[in-house]
Every structure is written in C-alpha cells, then in structure tokens.
Amino acid sequence: MGAQDVASGECDGSGTAVQDVLAEVLSVEPLPLPYYALHLKVPAAFGVSAPGQFVMAMASPSELRLKPFLRRAFSVFDQEPLEGATNGERHIQLFGKIIGPGTSSLAECRPGDEVAVLGPLGVGFTLPSRGRAALVAGGVGSAALLLLQRALSERSVEHDFLYGGRSTVDLAASVTFAELARRSGGRYLPSTEDGSTGHHGLITEVLAEGLAESRYQHVFTCGPEGLMRAVARLAAAHDCPGQAALETAMGCGYGACLGCAVQMVNGEIQLCCKHGPVFDLAEVSW
C-alpha cells in the first residue's frame, strides 16, 4: 500500500467518463487473511476516480464463469501514476475481503492476469472545506475512505479515522489510514470487539464520545449496514451532517438493471450505482 498522493477528482463527487477496460494484474498483496490488495495497471483512458467512486471488476473476463457470474463492486482504494509507464497507464488498487466467489476470484489472480474493470462509477463524497471530520470505517468498508482522506488532506480538512473491527486482523492497512489522519492533525482511533486493539467495543461508541464533545462537523462512513445505520442515528442525534457509502448488491453497476434500489426517507427509490453509492445519512431510510 502506501501509494503517494494523487489528484483525487472533483469535489462534487462525480468524476470522469466511464470506461470498460482490461486491466493487468501487477500483484496481489497478501494482507492478513481474509484481506488483500489487488494492484492493477489500467490504460490511460481509464478515468481518475473521485473519492467514493467504485468499479465493477471481474477476473478472467474471457471465460464465462457460473460462480461468480456477475461482476463485483469495489471501491477505488487508491490510484497513482504508474512508474515507468510508457503510455500513460496508471496504477489503481482495490482492497478486498474474501467472503464469497467474487472476492476470492480476484484474490486468486496472478501477476499478468487480466481483470475487466468498468468505471469510475457513481457519485462519490461531497467534500467539506472546513470543520473537523470523523471517518468511520467498519472492516473492509475502509476501502472507500482512503481517497477521501487524501482529498481532505489536500483541502487541509482535519479528520479522525475511526476504524472498527471484530479483531485486530480486521483493521487491515491501518498504518496508512493512521498516518494520513495524523498528518491532517487528527487522530487514529481503532476499536475491536475482542479488545485486541484500541477501544474494547464498538466503533460507534468511540464516535458517540467525539460527537458528545462536539468534536466533529462532518461524519463519513462505510461498512456493514448495521454500523452505518447506527452512525446515521448518532449523527442525527447530534445534528451533525454526514454521508455514507452504501454497499447494496449490484447487477450491473451502470444503471441498467435497476437492481441496486435504495429506499429513501421521502419514499423515493434511488439507485445505489447511479445516485450513490454515497448518500446523505439523513436521506436514506435505514
């Protein structure tokens, strides 16, 4: 990990035009199981992702697999120019947790393999220009928050990184998150349910403390639905605005199947892949 800073898209959260490209696997970086980072070389045509945007990825696209059959959604974890690139190719990273056929098929890639990557997709985070932010990650949900950290740093927005997991192993890539948070002037606040690292308990307990001290003017979160729901309640209770990157099941990722419905408070249905994946915490019907 530890890619250097890159320009991270525009601040309204939408990025460059969508492309469907064949990426080359540079390496699969093993992290403590079940986590991994997939390093990909994408052609120059592949756009720069805004924080919160995602891709639809599929290993060995030339063969039809029965399982996984569809592509899987991954946040663009990191991006940077590729050293020694001859045609403007760039390096993007996906951060995965093996939970099923899709995430394991990408973890099993070898250097030189092809991965089909469609993106950048969706509307990412709307960036604040002042105030202090809490970034609340649950496990692999942290994948959506690194580009956000970089963008906040560029805008000199101080942020704390609150990283929750069952155990220390679930705080993968914590060094990178911690360093960026500290460099912004903020804190790195981990928690584990088994008490092996940081606060012994839930990460929302750490957030509640900060909110009670009026420490935060913005909350950003990505993780399991239960976590994001709890974050939404806490933020609402403290009148703190916030955004969540949702992980709704997706069929296509580009607005064609209408499968990724998100129920909104106002009764509307929105599409996670098109109107999101980042939504205002207060607008989602949790």
Ligand X SMILES: Cc1cc2nc3c(=O)[nH]c(=O)nc-3n(C[C@H](O)[C@H](O)[C@H](O)COP(=O)(O)OP(=O)(O)OC[C@H]3O[C@@H](n4cnc5c(N)ncnc54)[C@H](O)[C@@H]3O)c2cc1C
Query: Residue numbers of the site for ligand FES (CB under 6 A)?
Result: 250-253, 255-260, 271-273
| C-alpha to C-alpha distance for 240 and 233, rounded to whole angstroms | 10
Q: Which stretch binds ligand X (CB under 6 A): 3-11, 89-97, 206-214, 225-233?
A: 89-97
Q: Which stretch binds ligand X (CB under 6 A): 40-48, 69-77, 150-158, 224-232?
A: 69-77
Binding residues for another protein restricted to 179-238, rule: CB under 8 A? none
Residue type at 46 in one-letter notation? F
**CB of residue 19 to another protein, shortest distance in Å:** 9
Which of 32, 33, 44, 69 is the binder for another protein (CB under 8 A)? 69
Yes or no: say if 135 and 158 are a contact pair by the CB < 8 Å rule: no
Which of 18, 21, 59, 73 is the binder for ligand X (CB under 6 A)? 73
**CB of residue 63 to ligand X, shortest distance in Å:** 16
| C-alpha to C-alpha distance for 179 and 284, rounded to whole angstroms | 31
Q: Which residue is nearest to ligand X (CB)?
A: 100
Comparing CB distances to another protein, the nearer of 234 and 272 is: 272
Yes or no: say if 122 and 252 are a contact pair by the CB < 8 Å rule: no
Comparing CB distances to ligand X, the nearer of 240 and 272 is: 272
Comparing CB distances to another protein, the nearer of 18 and 37 is: 18
Which of 7, 33, 85, 99 is the binder for ligand X (CB under 6 A)? 99
The one of ligand FES, another protein, ligand X, none whose footprint includes residue 228, by CB under 5 to 8 A per kind, is none
**CB of residue 193 to ligand FES, shortest distance in Å:** 31
Q: Which residue is nearest to ligand FMN (CB)?
A: 257
Residues near ligand X, by CB under 6 A: 54, 68, 72-75, 94-97, 99-103, 140, 143, 247-248, 250, 277
